[in-house]
């Protein structure tokens, strides 16, 4: 059994917040692969995933702990014990304030990096487990950190956040299929297409100028003969 645990806070008031990026990734995997309905297991919502041969076969469990973030280790410890899985079969997906929005970082092990959820997991099962971090930073100058992580993304950030979630799901699939070292190729920022070149400015329309003095039409204004002068038609012999 493989376990993919997304870190987040339970409850509708936390849906879509920066601190629930881990939930968003496991939900994306469940949506893509039409896994089983979410059910309660060991103080978590879990969805069982029958892995195709292309992803290594066997089973995986998508997990959303129903404790708060700082108690995530309790869920991880209970599920590992119940399913007799090793820490190498565990992938923890978590938000990271120290990474810029759009960046991913997968590591085979490491420190908690100031994240309370990872700190609790480390206290209960150690730190030798793979973890995938999703960037949500930077913290705006003068902003309250707790308030920042517990709010959603600004409208202009949502498309990038969704693209990052999709890329993180790709990374998790690679971890299942090929292991952590190969899946590290997803590390780094999103690859953004180059903006289209701006169209060249249109050349200014040249002014119609001429040095030629226009000829005065015969006769008066508009070509009419001056007063008292007959036109050529009137002088014509053809009567």
First to last CA, the chain: 117
* CA–CA dist 211, 16 (Å, integer): 71
Residues making up the chain, counted from first to last: 239
The answer to whether 132 touches 5, Cβ cutoff 8 Å, is no
Active-site amino acid positions: 19
The answer to whether 66 touches 10, Cβ cutoff 8 Å, is yes
Tokens for 156?
A: 């202009």
* CA–CA dist 85, 125 (Å, integer): 12
Q: Which class for 165: exposed (0-12), middle (13-18), buried (19 or more C-beta within 10 A)? A: buried
Tokens for 47?
A: 């969805």
* CA–CA dist 239, 100 (Å, integer): 97
* CA–CA dist 230, 227 (Å, integer): 8
Report the candidate in 136, 146, 131 with the shortest Cα–Cα distance to residue 6: 131
- Mode of pairing for the β-strands spanning 2-6 and 39-40: unpaired
C-alpha to C-alpha distances, 7 to 133, 169, 217, nearest whole angstrom: 10, 14, 90
């Amino acid at each position: 059994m493989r376990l993919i645990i997304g870190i987040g806070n339970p409850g509708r008031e936390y849906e879509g917040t920066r601190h629930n990026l881990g939930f968003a990734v496991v939900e994306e995997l469940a949506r893509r692969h039409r896994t089983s309905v979410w059910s309660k297991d060991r103080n978590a919502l879990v969805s069982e995933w029958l892995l195709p041969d292309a992803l290594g076969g066997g089973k995986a469990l998508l997990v959303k702990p129903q404790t708060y973030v700082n108690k995530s280790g309790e869920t991880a410890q209970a599920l590992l014990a119940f399913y007799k899985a090793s820490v190498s079969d565990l992938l923890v997906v978590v938000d990271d304030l120290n990474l810029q929005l759009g960046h991913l970082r997968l590591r085979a092990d490491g420190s908690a990096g100031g994240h309370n959820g990872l700190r609790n997991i480390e206290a209960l099962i150690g730190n030798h487990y793979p973890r995938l971090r999703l960037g949500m930073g930077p913290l705006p100058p003068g902003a309250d950190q707790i308030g920042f992580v517990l709010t959603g993304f600004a409208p202009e950030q949502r498309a990038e956040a969704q693209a990052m979630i999709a890329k993180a799901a790709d990374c998790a699939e690679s971890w299942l299929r090929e292991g952590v070292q190969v899946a590290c190729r997803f590390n780094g920022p999103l690859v953004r297409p180059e903006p289209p070149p701006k169209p060249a400015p249109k050349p200014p329309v040249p002014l119609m100028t001429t040095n030629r003095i226009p000829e005065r039409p015969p006769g008066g204004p508009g070509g009419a003969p001056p007063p008292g002068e007959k036109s050529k038609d009137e002088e014509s012999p053809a009567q």
